[in-house]
Amino acid sequence: MKTIQSYRFALDLSPGQERAVLAHAGAARVAHNWALARVKAVLDQRAAERTYGVPDEQLTPSVSWSLPALRRAWNAAKAEVAPWWAECSKEAFNTGLDALARALKNWSDSRTGKRAGRPVGFPRFKSRRRTTPSVRFTTGTIRVAPDRMHVVLPRLGRLKLHESARKLARRLEAGTARIMSATVRRDGERWHVCFTVDVERADRVPAEPMSVVGVDVGIAHLAVLSTGELVPNPGHLAAAQRRLRALGRVLSRRTGPDRRTGLRPSNRWQRAVARLGRAHARVANLRRDGLHKLTTRLAAEYGTVVVEDLNVSGMLRNRRLARHIADAGFAELRRQLAYKTGWNGGRLIVADRWYPSSKTCSGCGTVKTKLALSERTYTCTTCGLSLDRDLNAAHNLAAFATETTAGSGPVAGRGADRKTRSGRQVATKRQPGTASAGQTGTVPPQGRTTDHVFTRAH
């Protein structure tokens, strides 16, 4: 099975190498801003001419914003715009132009209705201070050194790795991987190189191919499995709040930059910013590590994983819970499960966001009309079942896989207003912690009739 996979390694750059990488990132920013100013000037000119009643055929000719067109325009003007262009690799300028071409295409497709999702705004100019330095190489010498502790990139030369690249080197030596590109990026005062690799992965089978697990994510527990396992929520951001507040107070007492007066930041301000950035990067790394370990274990063990399609953006509007929801990383957990289940030969099923997993009794199928968020124990008035609210939802998600596999079609769109599930036999009371994959029956479709099965294979 072929898939596109990334390998990310930390770098240990010398001061000279760091200046070279920053110069390449600056070149990408210059090319991006120059091309954006060119496109914006033409768009503004055409809009102004329309206000004066100029016919469309007499308007200022439009410019193409495809990558080849932007590249030709830059090559024609680079000697005048950036006389130092020969000091940087051509891939640096291509990085900025490619980012702009994709941003303009997304903006255009969003305006014309070709792109789904939220509206995409017009691209903005990149700031030297607020933009994350990054440069991408797609051509030239891109390889891992034989000692596996160095990488070689165009114009930057031999860069030392902070960790061994043996996992990637083994695949390259065996001929099961091919490097497509390499991106050097600074995250939290630490430089990383990320290789995009075309990998030939061996076919795998989960440890329990026929098993089904429902995963209910939350704040009190990061995940509650239908097997009864409770995965605690480490709350890395909450644990680091005291230190982050202290660093923020220190930063506020330093002299920062002022664009209105041209005041440059003090050295102490820059050191305070670096300390705060490292603290935030540590929180992000801890969160990423925990999610990777959890999703890898679930994908390798269970043949079918069922999760909910949560409206995370809507949940973040709750100002009391927004920080904890963002810290949990619900979207990242689902994203990782999507590709890892495909790698391991399993499948991921996503229940519709209107599926009443929390309001439904996992014993008899009765659906409550209302269930307050403060009610942490689910008590069924029909069969008397009483168990943890999240565990009850996990049991229902596991049963959702059986109902979907049975070919019953969409399950319970806006089903929260329906008291019982017709066509489903009343099950006996099940003890908490037992699997619910054996339940059978269907739920009549209500509300939306979209496909609830979401699979992704690479």
Is residue 2's pLDDT more than 60? yes
Domain boundary assignment for the chain: 2-15+133-200, 29-112, 208-234+278-458
Report the greatest alpha carbon distance in the chain.
80
CA distances from 307 to 177, 348, 443 (A): 32, 8, 18
The string of pLDDT tens digits covering residues 150-177 is 999 999 999 999 999 999 999 999 999 9
Neighbours of 421 (CB within 10 A): 22
Is pLDDT at 279 greater than 70 in this prediction? yes
DSSP sequence for 83-105? TTGGGS-HHHHHHHHHHHHHHHH
Each residue's pLDDT tens digit, 172-217: 999 999 999 999 999 878 999 999 999 998 889 999 999 999 999 9
Residue 297 structure tokens: 């274990």
Percent of the chain with pLDDT over 90: 66
Burial label, 61 (beta-carbon count in 10 A; 0-12, 13-18, 19+): exposed
Percentage of the chain beyond pLDDT 70 is: 88
Distance CA 172, CA 37 (A): 42
Give the CA count within 13 Å in the CB-facing half-sphere of 214: 29
| pLDDT score at 149 | 96
**Under DSSP, is residue 411 helix (H, G, I), strand (E, B) or coil?**
coil
| Token pair recorded at residue 293 | 């370990």
Per-residue pLDDT tens digits for 5-48? 999 999 999 999 999 999 999 999 999 999 999 999 999 999 99
- Confidence tier at 415 by pLDDT (50, 70, 90): very low
pLDDT tens digit sequence for 328-348:
999 999 999 999 999 999 999
Q: Which amino acid is at 42?
A: V
Query: Mind telling me the catalytic residues?
Result: 216, 308, 390
Q: What confidence category does residue 409 fall into, taking pLDDT thresholds of 50, 70 and 90? A: very low
| Tally of CB atoms within 10 A around 388 | 18
What pLDDT is recorded for position 411? 41
pTM for this prediction = 0.80
Confidence band of 405 (pLDDT split at 50, 70, 90): low
CA-CA distance, 429 to 80, in Å (whole number)?
78
Residue 416 has pLDDT above 70, yes or no: no
Q: Would you say residue 370 has pLDDT above 50?
A: yes
Question: Which of the four pLDDT bands, split at 50, 70 and 90, describes residue 406?
Answer: low
